[in-house]
Homo-oligomer: A and B are copies of this chain.
């Protein structure tokens, strides 16, 4: 709220941030193709030409919003927690925009943006990039010689769950209790990744 600096009226860094935030929200809501640079600029409250000054193109802004944020997050999580963490991140995205503003409310919109943008080269590339990083980590959780395939399958499951829950909004999954979903998925996943830590009982 209270900024000690005397509030610059022209602030490149601030408008850059505004553009990134607006783009993240819109890409997540509508996907890449259906989001226009004019939409983004309007939501950020700035002129659309600035988008090109700061990011070069719509595509580069999309990369900034999805790939960069996603990668950073992943690298901070230890392998054996990665699946559950990602799964919970996915499930935390409740229906409706929830409390849009606020500090801790910034969720996994990057993944959602990616999910809604499949098909174009845009998302396919960054998707593969992110996917390979995730898969590599998950593959350390099994000694089977088809570790890569197993981790890809688990990853595919995450994608599908995100798609079904947040985009298609299939009823049973969209409204399900995250705990129950975690339980079912992790139990099945342990068929493939034998080093997954056993689920702890929620409350004794």
Binds B, one of A13-21, A53-61, A173-181: A173-181
A31–B158 CA distance with the chains assembled, in angstroms: 21
Tell me, in angstroms, the Cα distance from A151 to B172 when the chains sit together.
9
Tell me the dominant secondary structure on chain A's binding face. Answer: helix
Are the CB atoms of A172 and B30 closer together than 8 Å? Answer: no
Does A49 make an interface contact (CB < 8 A)? Answer: no
List chain B residues, Cβ under 8 A from A146.
Answer: 172, 176, 180, 184
In the complex, are the beta carbons of B31 and A120 less than 8 A apart?
yes
A47 within 8 A of B: no
Question: Shortest CB–CB separation between residue A164 and chain B, in angstroms?
Answer: 4
Contact of A31 among B30, B119, B163, B180 (CB under 8 A): B119
- Is A131 touching B170 in the complex (CB atoms < 8 A)? yes
A185 near B: Cβ within 8 Å? yes
> Which chain B residues border A116 with CB–CB below 8 Å?
118-119
**Range of interface residues on A (Cβ < 8 Å):** 35 or more
Check if B118 sits within 8 Å of A184, measured CB to CB: no
Q: Which of these, B34, B124, B152, B164, contacts A172 with CB under 8 Å?
A: B152
Q: How many copies does the complex hold?
A: 2
What sequence of 0s and 1s flags, for each residue 152-174 of chain A, a beta carbon within 8 Å of any chain B beta carbon? 11011111110111011111110
Chain B nearest Cβ from A130, distance in angstroms: 10
Interface residues of A in 91-129 (CB under 8 A from B): 115-120, 124, 127-128
Residues of B within 8 A of A169 (CB): 124, 128
Task: Evaluate contact between A192 and B188: CB separation under 8 angstroms.
Answer: yes
A189 on the interface (CB 8 Å rule)?
Answer: yes
Assess whether A132 is interfacial by the CB under 8 Å rule: yes
Which A residues lie at the B interface, using CB under 8 A?
30-34, 115-120, 124, 127-128, 131-132, 135, 146, 148-153, 155-161, 163-165, 167-173, 176, 180-181, 184-185, 187-189, 191-192
